[in-house]
Amino acid sequence: MPRPKRILAINPGSTSTKIGLFDDESEVFKISIEHPASSIAEFPSVEAQYAMRKEAVLACLKARDLDPATLDALAARGGPLPHLSGGAYRVDAAMVDALRNGSLAEHVSNLAGMIAYDLGEARGIPSYIYDAISADELSEVARISGMPALPRRSLCHVLNMRAVGRRVAQGMGKAYGEANLVVAHLGGGISISLHRGGRMEDIVGDDEGPFSPERAGRVPCRALIDLCYSGRFDHQTMRRMLRGKGGLVAYAGTNDVAEVESRAEAGDAEAALLLEAMAYQVAKGIGELATVVRGRVDRIVLTGGIARSKRITSSIAERVGFISPVEVVPGEYELEALALGVLRVLRGQEEARVYAPRSDAGTEGKS
């Protein structure tokens, strides 16, 4: 009997780095390495966190007596690189350079491929990304923004939303490609997606929809322009006000939804209003995407860490239940989705692409 394929999955989040070890489809362990918000705030940029997070992963593996040389592959969350499709890409030096210098956004997922490549390359172990956050399946009509210089981009929680979409469709007795789904990922960032025909045809990204624990979401554009040119804030500060120090952090001083809930339950009216506003905005985004399929939605799915909050999911469901049944799948399945995707590559069931930075639509190669 052949030895199972051993895969280490790496998924950095805003205040944690999650890792999981899998032997074929079997989970060996999953660990969330926590990084307090106060510690993260000491770094001037996401990239500056690279060494800290890499050392934290290595220390965790050492504590588990796991030699990285025993791995068959590493599976990393895919960062927001341009011109990506869904599925697997091999991480190589060109991709690492693009993650450092050519990313569409400063995002913690950029670090995953860098860490995986560093751990694997010296040991001759391949590393891959799978269903990156910029995997783009938008329909052509969905790309139009109103400003030719600013076309809409697909940047969202692709990995978890597609994994949960597959799971929900299976529970309905349908293939994923046969179901119309609206999936909302509720986490440190919130994004919502419309799935039809096995593709994510449209999204409400975390900069054009609900505010979240750390992100401002959609804000008034003209007022934002005026604030940028007011002379009060530099470029980096403005970016942090939108991502990292927006949302609940800006209003309540914390990104911990449970803490805000505790305040609300203790009678804090402002905390209660903030939670209601976040749920209200999520519901509006779900309704927006339901129009793409003219209301013919088989399921609305709420997932991510915040989906554990009955207060928030109930508030959303009350507003959108008229569209379709609402299914709550709390937590996230990103480590499993990463490992299973790479396992399909190792078994020859899927082909991994090779990423080639490009300036037009015709230069991306495939292995």
347 has pLDDT over 60:
yes
Token readout for 335 is 């480590």
Whether 156 shows a pLDDT value over 70: the answer reads: yes
Count other Cβ atoms within 10 Å, centred on residue 199. Answer: 15
**Residue 14 confidence (pLDDT):** 79
pLDDT surpasses 50 at 362: no
What rounded mean pLDDT belongs to the chain? 93
Can you give the pLDDT at residue 283?
98
**Cα–chain center distance at 299:** 21
Q: How far apart are CA 290 and CA 153, in angstroms?
A: 19
Q: Return the axis-axis angle of helices 110-121 and 50-63, rounded to nearest 10°.
A: 50
The residues, any chain, with a CB within 8 Å of residue 146's CB and separated by 6 or more, are none
Query: Cα dihedral angle (316, 322, 328, 333), rounded to 10 degrees?
Result: -100
Checking if the pLDDT of 254 tops 90, the result is yes
Q: What is the reported pLDDT for 358? A: 65
CB atoms under 10 Å from CB of 270, counted, come to 11
- Which tens digits make up the pLDDT trace of 97-154? 999 998 988 889 999 999 999 999 989 999 999 999 999 999 999 999 999 999 998 8
Tens-digit pLDDT profile for residues 170-196: 999 999 999 999 999 999 899 999 999
Q: Where are the domains of the chain?
A: 6-135+334-354, 141-330
Could you say which architecture CATH assigns to the domain 141-330? 2-Layer Sandwich (3.30)
Euclidean distance between the first and the last CA atom of the chain, given in angstroms as a whole number: 29
Closest CA to 206 of 327, 86, 304: 304
**Superfamily grouping for domain 6-135+334-354:** ATPase, nucleotide binding domain (3.30.420.40)
Q: What is the mean pLDDT of residues 326-330?
A: 98
pLDDT, tens digit, 9 for 90 and up, residues 67-101:
999 999 999 999 999 989 888 999 999 999 999 99
pLDDT at residue 291 tops 80: yes
Q: In this predicted model, which residue has the larger pLDDT, 367 or 111? A: 111
pLDDT at position 365 over 60: no
Q: Which two tokens stand for residue 209?
A: 């929809």
What pTM, to 2 d.p., does this model score?
0.84
* Residue 359: per-residue pLDDT: 55
Q: What 3 state SS string does the chain have?
A: CCCCCEEEEEEECCCEEEEEEEECCEEEEEEEEECCHHHHCCCCCCHHHHHHHHHHHHHHHHHCCCCHHHCCEEEEECCCCCCCCCCEEECCHHHHHHHHHCCCCCCCCHHHHHHHHHHHHCCCCCEEEECCCCCCCCCCHHHCCCCCCCCCCCCCCHHHHHHHHHHHHHHCCCCHHHCCEEEEEECCCEEEEEEECCEEEEEECCCCCCCCCCECCCCCHHHHHHHHCCCCCCHHHHHHHHECCCHHHHHHCCCCHHHHHHHHHCCCHHHHHHHHHHHHHHHHHHHHHHHHHCCCCCEEEEEEHHHHCHHHHHHHHHHHCCCCCEEEEEECCHHHHHHHHHHHHHCCCCCCEECCCCCCCCCCCEC
For residues 360 and 254, the model is more confident at: 254
The answer to whether residues 131 and 125 touch, using CB atoms and an 8 Å cutoff, is no
Query: How many other C-beta atoms lie within 10 A of the C-beta of residue 338?
Result: 32
* Fold equal for 6-135+334-354 and 141-330: yes
Amino acid 59: pLDDT: 96
Tell me the pLDDT tens digit for each residue of 263-282. 999 999 999 999 999 999 99
Express each pLDDT in 1-46 by its tens digit.
Answer: 789 999 999 999 878 999 999 999 999 999 999 998 888 889 999 9
Question: How many CA atoms lie within 13 Å of 60's alpha carbon, on the beta-carbon side?
Answer: 20
What pLDDT shows up at residue 357?
77
Q: How far apart are CA 324 and CA 156, in angstroms?
A: 23
Contacts of 138 (CB under 8 A, 6+ apart): 152, 154, 200, 201, 202, 203
For 287: left if phi > 0, alpha if psi spans -120 to 50, otherwise beta; the answer is alpha
